[in-house]
Structure 1
Amino acid sequence: MRKIFRSLLAKYMFIILMALSLVQLTYILIAVFVSEVTKDTEDKSQSQGYEGFEEVEEKWHQEAKDIQNVTVQTVDQHFYEWTQQYADASMFWVGEDGKLLTTVNLKDQLPSEWTPAFTTKFIKERYGGDPFTIIAFLGENETNGFIVLEVPRSTFNPPLRDVYDNYGSILFIGVILIIFLFITASFLFFRGIRKRLVKLQDAMELRDVDNLPIQINVKKQDEIGQLEQTFNQMVFELRESKQREQKEEQLRRELIANLSHDLRTPLTKVRAQTYSIAKEDLSADGKRAIKALEASVVNIDSLIENLMSYSLLMASKYKCDRKAIDVVRFVRKSLASWYPVFEKAGFEIDIELNVFKETKWLVDPIWLGRILDNLFQNVVRHARSGQYIGVKTESKDNIDSLIIIDRGKGMNDESNEKGAGIGLSIVDMMVKGMDLDWDIESSEQGTTITIKKYNERCS
Structure 2
Amino acid sequence: MKRFFRSLQAKYMAIILVALFLFQAAYLLVAMLVMGLQEDISGEKNKNESDPNHIEEKWHADAAELENSSSETIQRLFSKWKNDYPDASMFWVDEKGNVLEQLDVKGDLPANWTPAFTAKFIKERYGGDPFTVISFIGGDEKNGFIVLEIPRNLFLPPIVEVTEKYGLLLGAGLLLIISLFIIVSFLFFRGIRKRLLHLQEAMERRDMDNLPIGIDVKKNDEIGQLEQTFNEMIIELKESKQREQEEEQLRRELIANLSHDLRTPLTKINAQTYSIAKENLSPEGKQAVKALETSIVNIDRLIENLMSYTLLMASKHKQELIELDAVRFVRESMASWYPVFEKESFEVIIELEPFEEKWQADPVWLSRIFDNILQNVLRHAKDGLYLEVATESTYEYDEIIFIDHGKGLNNSSGEKGAGIGLSIIDLMVKGMKLDWEMESGVDGTAIRIRRIK
Scaled by the length of structure 1, what TM-score is found? Answer: 0.91
- Tell me which residue corresponds to 1:131: 130
In the TM superposition, residue 314 of structure 1 has moved relative to its aligned partner by 1.8
Moved more, 257-266 or 34-43: 34-43
Q: Does residue 130 of structure 2 align to residue 154 of structure 1? A: no
- Tell me which residue corresponds to 1:275: 274
In the TM superposition, residue 293 of structure 1 has moved relative to its aligned partner by 0.7
Which letter maps to 2:375? Q
Matches of 1:362 and 1:48, distance apart in 2: 110
Alpha-carbon contact 1:394-1:402 (below 8 Å) kept: yes
- Tell me which residue corresponds to 2:78: 79
Matches of 1:255 and 1:423, distance apart in 2: 20
Alpha-carbon contact 2:380-2:413 (below 8 Å) kept: yes
- Tell me which residue corresponds to 1:234: 233
Alpha-carbon contact 2:381-2:404 (below 8 Å) kept: yes
1:53-75 deviations in Å (ceiling 9; x for gaps): x5534553454345454444543
Which letter maps to 2:197? V
- Tell me which residue corresponds to 2:172: 173
Q: Does residue 43 of structure 2 align to residue 43 of structure 1? A: yes
Which letter maps to 1:276? S
In the TM superposition, residue 5 of structure 1 has moved relative to its aligned partner by 0.4
Alpha-carbon contact 2:322-2:360 (below 8 Å) kept: yes
In the TM superposition, residue 76 of structure 1 has moved relative to its aligned partner by 4.2
Alpha-carbon contact 1:356-1:395 (below 8 Å) kept: no
- Cα distance change of structure 1 residues 376 and 157 upon mapping to structure 2, 3 Å threshold: same
- Tell me which residue corresponds to 2:394: 396
* 3-state SS of 1:346 partner: coil
The percent identity for this pair of structures is: 59
- Tell me which residue corresponds to 1:307: 306
Moved more, 311-320 or 268-277: 311-320
* 3-state SS of 2:342 partner: helix
1:121-158 deviations in Å (ceiling 9; x for gaps): 87687666643333332234332122111212221111
Gaps of 5+ in 2: none
- Cα distance change of structure 1 residues 305 and 151 upon mapping to structure 2, 3 Å threshold: same
Moved more, 166-175 or 372-381: 166-175
In the TM superposition, residue 421 of structure 1 has moved relative to its aligned partner by 1.0
In the TM superposition, residue 81 of structure 1 has moved relative to its aligned partner by 4.7
Matches of 1:453 and 1:140, distance apart in 2: 126
- Tell me which residue corresponds to 1:18: 18
Moved more, 190-199 or 387-396: 387-396
Matches of 1:101 and 1:324, distance apart in 2: 127
The equivalences for 1:210-221 within 5 A come to 210-221=209-220
Which letter maps to 2:354? F
Alpha-carbon contact 1:137-1:147 (below 8 Å) kept: yes
Matches of 1:268 and 1:38, distance apart in 2: 117
* 3-state SS of 2:418 partner: coil
Alpha-carbon contact 1:328-1:353 (below 8 Å) kept: no
Which letter maps to 1:161? V
Equivalent residue for 1:452, pick from 418, 433, 450 = 450
* 3-state SS of 1:420 partner: coil
Which letter maps to 2:226? L
Which letter maps to 1:394? E
Alpha-carbon contact 2:89-2:106 (below 8 Å) kept: no
1:298-329 deviations in Å (ceiling 9; x for gaps): 00000111111112222222222223333223
Q: Does residue 363 of structure 2 align to residue 365 of structure 1? A: yes
- Cα distance change of structure 1 residues 100 and 265 upon mapping to structure 2, 3 Å threshold: same
1:145-189 deviations in Å (ceiling 9; x for gaps): 221112122211111112112221221111011101101110111
Matches of 2:101 and 2:321, distance apart in 1: 126
* 3-state SS of 1:438 partner: strand
- Cα distance change of structure 1 residues 264 and 188 upon mapping to structure 2, 3 Å threshold: same
Matches of 1:46 and 1:25, distance apart in 2: 31
The equivalences for 1:309-388 within 5 A come to 309-349=308-348, 351-358=349-356, 360-388=358-386
Gaps of 5+ in 1: none
- Tell me which residue corresponds to 2:416: 418
Kindly tell me the number of residue pairs found equivalent between the two proteins.
Answer: 452
1:69-98 deviations in Å (ceiling 9; x for gaps): 444454345435534542332223232345
Matches of 1:353 and 1:415, distance apart in 2: 29
Q: Does residue 203 of structure 2 align to residue 204 of structure 1? A: yes
Matches of 2:49 and 2:393, distance apart in 1: 117
Which letter maps to 1:250? Q
Kindly report the root-mean-square deviation, in angstroms, between the aligned alpha carbons of the 2 structures. 2.5
Which letter maps to 2:420? I
In the TM superposition, residue 435 of structure 1 has moved relative to its aligned partner by 2.4
- Tell me which residue corresponds to 1:91: 90
In the TM superposition, residue 357 of structure 1 has moved relative to its aligned partner by 3.8
